[in-house]
């Protein structure tokens, strides 16, 4: 098919998501059950953190305000991937409409960019708390918190819209089989029969702004944090200071580690399955482990959960 016969995003044609376990029917049921369990735990875990941050006044601090935003984001993030994957595994229907693929990529890209900004904002919050404790209350006011959160969400939405404008102008020629379990940027470009240089350059520039810059900012923040912690004379003081940011540092390492591996890994035939595994990790497993990390490693979250449970159980007993 030549370029003039290609179809752009506005056509009614569909794409075929080859997905995970392609060609191995015996894996469909185990993958469906595993994905369903992961999605359930992800939604419940992140929703619980949001409820705790809102309901418990002890968590009404900038750090937990950003954590509540991150948990809300993770719920939305996984909901762009897993419901479609579950449907495919359950029904065996692997096709997705052009508009559906466009919408999935838009929200996925938007939430991924927002997470980069939010992680940078959380790193800045920890930097001020540890390196500038006397100025923390004035520099990290509630006004600043809301502004940072708003910029994170809006930044992800705007950057994703810009990419979608250029991506929607491309023409796609058959066969329209996406060797992935969701509509991602690189697999889509591989199917285009248009000149992709412009959209590639634009995406590269935006990636520097919404991925590389937040990553370098987060990295610089933690270099300053670690240097400040090492200057604390007592081991107890160092342990206490590090405990306030260890959960966030773990999440940052997992998210950026897998993200960098996926998008720097060569797109060779032998490495595509491995790339899908890492993609599954940062798109599906990272939203799952975030509430586990923050609940298991954070004493204040565990205490808030106990307080909420005691209050609710006490209310139930008194009503009887």
71, 46 in Cβ contact below 8 A?
Answer: yes
β-pairing, 177-178 vs 14-17, is parallel
Using the structure block, give the residue that is written with the tokens 């205490």: 303
**Which residues contact residue 251 at a Cβ distance below 8 angstroms, ignoring those fewer than 6 apart?**
70, 119, 286, 289, 290, 293, 294
Q: Please count the other Cβ atoms lying within 10 Å of the Cβ belonging to residue 88.
A: 23
What's the pLDDT at 135? 92
111, 76 in Cβ contact below 8 A?
Answer: yes
The 10s digit of each residue's pLDDT in 100-138 is 888 999 999 999 999 999 999 999 999 999 999 999 999
Nearest-angstrom CA–CA distance, 226 and 186: 36
The 10s digit of each residue's pLDDT in 74-102 is 999 899 999 988 988 888 888 888 888 88
197, 231 in Cβ contact below 8 A?
Answer: no
Whether the model pTM is above 0.95 = no
């Amino acid at each position: 098919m030549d370029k003039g016969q290609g179809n752009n995003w506005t056509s009614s044609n569909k794409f075929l998501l080859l997905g995970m376990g392609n060609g191995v029917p015996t894996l469909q049921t185990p993958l469906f059950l595993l994905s369903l369990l992961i999605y359930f735990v992800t939604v419940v875990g992140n929703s619980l953190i949001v409820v705790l941050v809102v309901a418990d006044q002890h968590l009404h601090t900038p750090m937990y305000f950003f954590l509540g935003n991150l948990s809300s984001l993770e719920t939305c993030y996984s909901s762009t991937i897993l419901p479609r994957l579950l449907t495919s595994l359950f029904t065996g229907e692997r096709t997705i409409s052009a508009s559906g693929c466009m919408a999935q990529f838009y929200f996925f890209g938007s939430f991924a960019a927002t997470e980069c900004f939010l992680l940078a904002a959380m790193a800045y919050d920890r930097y001020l708390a540890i390196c500038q404790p006397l100025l923390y209350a004035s520099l990290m006011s509630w006004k600043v918190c809301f502004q940072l959160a708003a910029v994170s969400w809006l930044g992800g939405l705007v950057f994703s819209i810009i990419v979608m404008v250029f991506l929607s102008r491309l023409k796609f020629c058959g066969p329209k089989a996406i060797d992935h379990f969701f509509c991602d940027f690189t697999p889509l470009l591989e199917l285009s029969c248009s000149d992709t240089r412009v959209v590639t350059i634009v995406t590269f520039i935006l990636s520097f702004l919404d991925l590389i810059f937040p990553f370098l900012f987060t990295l610089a923040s933690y270099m300053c944090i670690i240097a400040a912690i090492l200057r604390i004379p007592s081991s107890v003081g160092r342990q206490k200071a590090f405990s306030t940011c260890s959960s966030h540092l773990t999440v940052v390492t997992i998210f950026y580690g897998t993200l960098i591996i996926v998008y720097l890994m060569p797109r060779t035939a032998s490495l595509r399955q491995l790339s899908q595994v890492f993609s599954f990790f940062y798109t599906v497993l990272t939203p799952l482990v975030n509430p586990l990390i923050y609940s298991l490693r954070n004493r204040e979250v565990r205490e808030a959960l106990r307080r909420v449970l005691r209050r609710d159980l006490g209310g139930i007993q008194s009503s009887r």
